[in-house]
């Protein structure tokens, strides 16, 4: 009896236990938000933009919680700068808390990519991603040669000939003058046309065109300048309409004479005058017409009432309102040389000594990267300072009381080169093969780049036009621009204007004032042709001696 009571009691307890089990509430763990701990690109932390990534990188994302695998595919995206998605493979490890992302096929070289992970990604407990991921990286340069390797002689021929097409094939059909840039329509540039005239002389000497063809183009150019182009006190504007010769304002008040641009034009015309020295009527008439233009420039007018300085601009409407003095060390030396050389409207040497050389900041004397800089701003300024005036003026052996110009031009270039090699801003791509800061197009604008105004943009004209000063360094850069970057940088009229490897940007523009120095300075490096011609002008020799210059050719 006692045993029966015990069995009944146990049975009841078991029944009660079963009832409690059936009525118990199942507790669901709370959803925990997921966060990113670290992101690595090939073992490099992807906190900021990473440059020079391989084209088959591995992206490793560490999360604070395990990831729900089913949410990965739609939440993770790898796109290029244009927004096109790259096919990727993904996998999870370390208990689903580490996500590995790899491109399904190699990415494009020298391209920007964006890694995006949206908040649709969930943790294993269905918590959302606290903050979306948006990181980017740039892939490396494709170092293979884009064109067959040829000798340096043939390469220089090729670059000169291709660059010459800008001035020949793209020259304005009415005036023959050089368009400002490859999108300028009827707008032609005075200074760039002067560079283009020197390019025509070079092209004849290189047999890219015949002397007869070159003479015919020169007759068109000079005839237009003499008979059609609008002049102000004998000087030309910065821009004009290549069909009508009317002044095209460069800015609101810059709607008249530009003395510096006129100097670049006269530098080219005097060079051509010396080249076309034949006795036939065509060449004789060309020389006479060039002399009419040359003698018509009223250089002394631009002293603005006989001041001891030249002024850059004069407008028939705004008179001297621009009020820009041509002074200090920059690209304008040629203006004072030609003003002193004029037989009809000359200036005294005091204007050079007081106005040009006497300006604050003219002399320097400091050393940068172990190179002493005689003249100019800190670290030399943009390299066109050592190009534009020296397309015709030979700096070799040239001195005056202020500088040795062999030292000035060479050290200016070496400082620019050394800055790019040292690369204090850490701009991706700068190296002994990729250097040269000068005025050029930049993304969405224009900039006079220099070691003190560096926006990560390299202009091919800077290093290539410096061949006479730094032949080894410039040739190395030229090889890099042509062979390594040629698929992006080489076009119809030679090298495009500029590029940034940091921002993965390549200009599609070509500018007369950058293409001209390339062909002309390559020729001065090879033969000194333009230096010889310009400095053979009797009036130029007299003018330079008047200003106190000394050189073997004077």
**pLDDT score of 30:** 85
Residue of 504, 427, 506, 495 lying closest to 463 (CA atoms)? 495
Domain boundary among 100, 115, 139: 139
> What sign for the dihedral angle of Cα 348, 410, 331, 335?
positive
Q: Is residue 20 part of a domain?
A: no
For residue 17, being part of any structural domain is answered with no
Write the CATH number for 245. 1.50.10.140
Task: Kindly state whether residue 205 falls inside one of the protein's structural domains.
Answer: yes
Residues 225 and 79 both lie in one domain: no
Last residue within a domain, chosen from 88, 116, 139: 139
So what's the pLDDT on residue 18? 42
Which residue carries 């390469």 as its tokens?
A: 155
CATH number reported for the structural domain that contains residue 66 in this entry: 2.60.40.1220
In this structure, the answer to whether residues 43 and 166 fall within a common structural domain is no
Same domain, 391 and 446: yes
Rounded to whole angstroms, the Cα distance separating 534 from 388 reads: 13
Same domain as 86, residue 160: no
Domain that holds residue 421: 152-546
Residue at 553 is within a domain? no
- How high is the pLDDT of residue 307? 98
Q: Do 251 and 129 fall within a single domain?
A: no
Nearest to 301 by CA among 264, 330, 333, 339: 339
For residue 524, being part of any structural domain is answered with yes
- pTM higher than 0.85: yes
pLDDT of residue 27: 62
Q: Residue 8's pLDDT is what?
A: 40
Residue 166 and residue 133 share a domain? no
The last residue of one of the domains, among 83, 110, 139, is 139
pLDDT at site 20: 43
What is the DSSP secondary structure assignment for residue 211, as one 8-state letter?
H
Is there a domain that residue 145 lies in?
Answer: no
Structural domain includes residue 272:
yes
User: In sequence order, which residues have a C-beta less than 8 Å from that of residue 122 and are 6 or more positions away?
Assistant: 34, 67, 68, 71, 128, 129
Residue tagged 């000594």 (tokens): 353
Pair (91, 228) in one structural domain:
no
pLDDT of the residue at 14: 41
Residue 82 and residue 202 in one domain: no
User: Helices (DSSP H) in 85-189: which residue ranges?
Assistant: 152-168
User: In this structure, are residues 201 and 534 in contact, taking their beta carbons and an 8 Å threshold?
Assistant: no
pLDDT along the chain (554 residues), means of 10: 43 42 60 94 94 97 96 97 96 96 97 96 94 96 98 98 98 98 97 98 98 98 98 98 98 97 99 98 98 98 98 97 97 98 98 97 97 98 98 98 98 98 97 98 97 98 98 98 98 98 97 98 98 98 98 97
Max Cα distance, the chain (Å): 150
Domain tally, the chain: 2
Specify the pLDDT at position 134.
96
The pLDDT value recorded for residue 515 is 98
**Same domain as 381, residue 359:** yes
Burial class (CB in 10 A: 0-12, 13-18, 19+), 2: exposed
Hunting for tokens 């092209």 — which residue is that?
Answer: 203
| Spatial distance between the Cα atoms of 478 and 535, rounded to a whole number of angstroms | 28
Residue 54 lies in a domain: yes
Q: Looking at the structure, tell me whether residues 495 and 419 fall in a common domain.
A: yes
Same-domain pairing of 252 and 231: yes
Whether 246 and 309 map to the same domain: the answer is yes
């Amino acid at each position: 009896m006692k045993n029966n009571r015990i069995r009944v009691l146990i049975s009841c307890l078991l029944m009660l236990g079963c009832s409690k089990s059936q009525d118990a509430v199942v507790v669901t763990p709370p959803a925990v938000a997921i966060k990113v701990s670290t992101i690595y690109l090939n073992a490099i932390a992807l906190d900021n933009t990473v440059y020079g990534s391989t084209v088959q990188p591995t992206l490793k994302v560490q999360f604070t919680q395990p990831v729900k695998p089913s949410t990965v595919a739609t939440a993770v995206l790898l796109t290029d700068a244009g927004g096109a998605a790259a096919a990727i493979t993904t996998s999870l490890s370390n208990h689903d808390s580490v996500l590995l992302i790899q491109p399904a096929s190699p990415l494009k070289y020298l391209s920007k990519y964006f890694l995006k992970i949206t908040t649709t990604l969930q943790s294993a407990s269905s918590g959302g991603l606290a903050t979306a991921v948006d990181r980017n990286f740039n892939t490396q340069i494709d170092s293979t040669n884009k064109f067959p390797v040829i000798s340096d002689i043939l390469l220089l021929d090729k670059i000169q000939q291709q660059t010459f097409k800008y001035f020949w094939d793209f020259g304005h059909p009415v005036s023959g003058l050089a368009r400002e840039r490859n999108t300028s329509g009827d707008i032609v540039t005075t200074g760039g046309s002067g560079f283009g005239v020197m390019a025509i002389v070079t092209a004849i000497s290189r047999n890219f065109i015949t002397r007869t063809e070159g003479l015919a183009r020169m007759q068109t150019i000079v005839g237009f300048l003499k008979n059609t182009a609008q002049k102000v006190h004998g000087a030309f504007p910065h821009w004009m309409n290549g069909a009508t010769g009317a002044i095209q304002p460069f800015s609101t008040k810059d709607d008249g004479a530009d003395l510096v641009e006129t100097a670049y034009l006269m530098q080219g015309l005097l060079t051509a005058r010396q080249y076309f020295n034949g006795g036939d009527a065509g060449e004789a008439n060309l020389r006479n017409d060039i002399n009419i233009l040359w003698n018509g420039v009223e250089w002394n007018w631009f002293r603005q009432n006989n001041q001891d300085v030249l002024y850059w601009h004069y407008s028939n409407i705004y008179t001297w309102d621009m009020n820009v003095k041509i002074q200090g060390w920059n690209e304008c030396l040629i203006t004072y040389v030609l003003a002193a050389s004029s037989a009809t409207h000359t200036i005294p040497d005091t204007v050079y000594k007081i106005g040009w050389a006497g300006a604050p900041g003219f002399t320097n004397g400091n050393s940068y990267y172990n190179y002493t800089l005689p003249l100019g701003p800190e670290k030399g300024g943009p390299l066109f300072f050592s190009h534009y005036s020296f397309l015709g003026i030979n700096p070799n052996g040239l001195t005056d009381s202020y500088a040795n110009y062999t030292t000035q031009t060479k050290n200016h270039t070496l400082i620019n080169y050394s800055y790019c090699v040292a690369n204090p801003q850490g701009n991706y791509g700068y190296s002994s093969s990729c250097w040269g800061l000068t005025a050029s197009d930049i993304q969405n604008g224009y900039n006079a780049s220099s070691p003190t105004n560096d926006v990560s943009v390299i202009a091919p004209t800077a290093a290539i036009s410096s061949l006479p000063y730094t032949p080894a360094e410039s040739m190395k850069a030229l090889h890099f621009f042509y062979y390594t970057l040629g698929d992006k940088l080489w076009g119809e009229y030679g090298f495009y204007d500029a590029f940034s490897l940091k921002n993965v940007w390549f200009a599609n523009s070509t500018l007369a004032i950058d293409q001209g120095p390339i062909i002309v300075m390559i020729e001065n490096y090879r033969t000194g042709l333009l230096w010889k011609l310009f400095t053979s002008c009797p009036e130029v020799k007299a003018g330079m001696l008047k200003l106190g210059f000394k050189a073997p050719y004077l």
